[in-house]
A and B are shown apart, each in its own frame.
Chain A
């Protein structure tokens, strides 16, 4: 570290309206008390009598036929409870439902490999034993014979005729393709003064590697046929609809329970295959099953972020730097199975033009399968890749045409006065002011003094670079967008549930449908409820975690895709208001005055005109629950309010691939300063600024925390984090030695700032946030490109730039420059 500054106080650029209640204040986080004392309950803290430990037998091959599996030696080992292999899975379950249209629809995906393995680490069998160590011993005794096949690890080769096919049922390695075109693309290129061509850009494979890996403790109740699944899966709604049909069981037979989750970042959405396997084992072996995924297993198999190539890109630019349009071919590497894919094939379209007024866009999307771990959502899912691409286009255009990256951005950003802004594909950016955010970023990064810093760095023999990353965090999906990849799918809209009740002794109890992994839902929900019921957040008991038995979930319940502040808190607000209404209804009966004359304040329902005429909430709870004789017969008050929040969405137009795909658009503008050692390619981020706008902030400190976390993820991904495979399909970074995530000493000095542009479309003016859109990746790429420019103007073409890649750019700038061509009229 050259400098060790802590983050400056957030710069308040715009004061919100006058403060009332707790919203907008940093009340103490409710979750903390248990977590700082080691009293959280994560799935692996759940112990059950007679529990067996599961250990997965995994494929050492990237691609092979399984010719035989013999578990007899494993089963003979003392202390082993039993095993499960693919053949049993194929007999007991149906393949998971596929979201794709053909050819992807033909892919058969089971809880364990059936007949064939398609990536290193794919589960082939499971052994359950009395201890973790024994299960591992027994796993070594499972004999699997393989007939190795050729592997494909480079998406660009996946469709070559000689390339081995992963899923014969699908005919080829193509899983999905679609053409997106909006505006007048030909016209834009005809009008352009310059066309900047970029032959190949690559967004690397990584994921956010939550510190806790996946897992579950699964119990089976033979009497009721119900499974209780204590798991850290972060989207039980999705897991259930994947698991139920596959297991040929009703969804109510799958009870998902979770209290604390050790980080998720999207990576814990697609554990349904493993959960099915555990369910089958719990039933087969008559005992609770603990499945603990180890770090190496996580790296080998779970939820890699989508790796994407952008090929033959062309950008249409006017002489004055106005961006008219672009066209590209996106080639997405989905890995071996489509567990959430090909949704990535449309999710990017939420942010089609990035922060810019690009009106004419064509993108040919092709997704292929390869012999690598399956891709699934990862913080910034599919948008991050596309936003990185848009930012790369901006900076490459600026560098090639000799324009100022700041000016190009300002000129082309969607303007504040254009909000709400409809993008070429019908998405509606709800609010925001990107240019102002950029100004704040420039101020925090010290843009004025940049020349001096540059001179200083150069005097020390360093190359100095400055880069901006402007990006969007689209939140609250319209699941109708799934129809753009498969018109047959019966999903649309979105929802979330909350219940708020007033109990017998006046206790306010909130249940959520969400599965937070650190996003502080207990705290923010309590704030919203407190403000509506006229109490303090301390008076509100938000149940920790999620339990499908609480009846506070819906089909889209979970914690993913930046939506809690909108859907979760929308539901909380709805339920609290419903409860408030009931309390007033009861108050009006007891106090003998119209509801309109009542207010909720200081723990009472009372007359606005006469605070003495008041009924404590405790009395309300007691009357309804335990002292209700004599109440009017038609008084419809239960003090147990359930509310389903449903964002206002329409079905998108499938033909034109047009419509509003997400409700809110939080924005981030980041700026980075880097110093590169020209001799080695080693570089350091010497200053960093992150500006965020997520509309109304319910709890600023929590928002800041999300901003910082997303920044750290992006910086890790920009510098070292990569899931790189060799040609045989071996993952080269299966642990935290080789997959280097940032540590405390790696963090640059950070300054944060924010503006607040309340969303006009949400109940609280909030916007979903937390994913951060990979702004740090964009900013570091831009800063590196700036820094390296004096050395032959190399083009930063990859999202991940470890030292060796920077050194290669320095060694042979021409190799990267061959990717770019400018045609000027």
Chain B
């Protein structure tokens, strides 16, 4: 294998497999949003601080602006678009976010939901403190987090 400025990658996103040629320099978030047109994941910073781009990557929560798309060759990725179990139904976290008014502008919400999902997947009975820690990588500028924490708490067992 020799270094290349672009390569063809195969990525499974929300169960669907995509094959695309991508520049090595392209960040995974831009690949997801611009190349795959999955615009649910967002960009809120340029330094990896905000978590708006959070996705679950091979079972682990990551910020997709902190990975190159080419690194995702062969990876399984879950984004907010894949969260609802089926059309017309919401995931328990999605419903709880709505019930608790855990979103206002909704810009942080996709990333926040993925963080919450990763947290509860690993720790279904997360305590409030664990929830705060689990959401620490996601900035929300609208809600002050209190309602988000409540929303996740309501789903935690």
> Measuring CB to CB, which residues of chain A are less than 8 angstroms from any residue of chain B?
1, 4, 6-7, 26, 28-29, 31-42, 44-45, 47, 132-133, 208-213, 260-265, 292, 294-296, 517-520, 701-702, 704-705, 708-709, 711-713, 735-737, 741-745, 747, 750
Contact = CB atoms under 8 A, between A and B. Distances in A.
Given A737-B49, A744-B132, 13 more contacts: A33-B90, A34-B106, A37-B81, A38-B83, A44-B33, A132-B34, A133-B23, A209-B141, A211-B142, A518-B142, A735-B47, A742-B144, A747-B149
B20 interface: no
Nearest to A46: B39
Contact of B146 (A7, A26, A263, A743): A7
B70 interface: no
Q: Which 8 A-B pairs have the closest CB atoms?
A: A38-B40, A35-B106, A262-B107, A518-B104, A712-B144, A518-B105, A736-B49, A38-B80
A133 B101 contact: no
B125 to A, nearest CB: 16
Interface string B74-91: 000001110110000010
Contact of B101 (A38, A704, A712): A704
Contacts of B103: 32, 35-36, 518
B42 A262 contact: yes
Contact of A744 (B42, B104, B136): B136
A742 B144 CA distance: 8
B57 interface: no
B19 interface: no
A133 B5 CA distance: 13
Contact of B98 (A32, A45, A294, A705): A32
Contacts of A42: 39, 42, 107
A737 B47 contact: yes
Interface in B129-147: 129, 131-133, 135-147
Interface string B20-41: 0001011000100110011111
Contacts of A208: 141
Interface in B68-123: 79-81, 83-84, 90, 94-95, 97-99, 101, 103-110, 113
A29 B101 contact: yes
A295 B144 contact: no
A32 B97 contact: yes
A267 to B, nearest CB: 10
B45 interface: yes
A745 B141 contact: no
A741 B141 contact: yes
Contacts, number: 192
A520 B43 CA distance: 22
A181 to B, nearest CB: 39
B39 A44 contact: yes
Contact of B84 (A35, A37, A209, A210): A37
Nearest to A38: B40
Contact of B135 (A44, A704, A712, A744): A744
A37 B80 contact: yes
B105 A212 contact: yes
Contacts of A264: 105
Given A40-B106, A260-B106, A6 B146 contact: yes
A45 B136 CA distance: 26
A520 B49 CA distance: 27
A33 B104 contact: no
B113 to A, nearest CB: 7
16 contacts: A7-B146, A35-B103, A36-B109, A38-B38, A38-B110, A262-B42, A295-B44, A517-B104, A705-B101, A712-B143, A713-B141, A735-B46, A742-B144, A742-B145, A743-B135, A743-B145
Interface of B: 23, 25-26, 30, 33-34, 37-47, 49-50, 52, 79-81, 83-84, 90, 94-95, 97-99, 101, 103-110, 113, 128-129, 131-133, 135-150, 153
Contacts of B79: 38
Contacts of A518: 103-106, 142
Given A45-B39, A211-B50, A702-B101, A736 B106 contact: no
B49 to A, nearest CB: 4
A789 B156 CA distance: 43
Among B47, B109, B144, max chain A CB count under 10 A is at B144
B70 to A, nearest CB: 14
A133 B138 contact: no
B30 to A, nearest CB: 7
B105 A263 contact: yes
Contacts of A35: 103, 106, 109
Contacts of A39: 40
A210 B139 CA distance: 10
Nearest to A4: B128
Contacts of A520: 104
Contact of A36 (B33, B90, B131): B90
Among B98, B108, B141, B150, max chain A CB count under 10 A is at B141
A5 B126 CA distance: 15
Contact of A6 (B90, B105, B128, B136): B128
A781 B99 CA distance: 34
Among B98, B104, B133, B147, max chain A CB count under 10 A is at B104
A736 B139 contact: yes
A210 B107 CA distance: 9
A709 B148 CA distance: 12
A210 B132 contact: no
Nearest to A7: B146
A230 to B, nearest CB: 13
B16 to A, nearest CB: 15
Contact of A211 (B34, B40, B52, B148): B52
A265 B105 CA distance: 11
B144 A36 contact: no
Contacts of B148: 744
Nearest to A709: B142
A36 B113 contact: yes
A35 B153 CA distance: 20
Contacts of A708: 143-144, 146-147
A165 to B, nearest CB: 34
Contacts of A211: 42, 44, 50, 52, 105, 107-108, 139-142
Nearest to A716: B141
A38 B41 contact: yes
B110 to A, nearest CB: 5
A159 B6 CA distance: 55
A713 B140 CA distance: 10
Given A38-B80, A42-B42, A702-B101, A747 B146 contact: yes
Contacts of A34: 106
Given A1-B132, A708-B146, A47 B106 contact: no
A502 to B, nearest CB: 27
A37 B146 contact: no
Contact of A701 (B39, B101, B138, B139): B101
Given A4-B132, A260-B106, A262-B105, A750 B146 contact: yes
Among A33, A40, A209, max chain B CB count under 10 A is at A40
Given A4-B128, A133-B25, A261 B47 contact: no
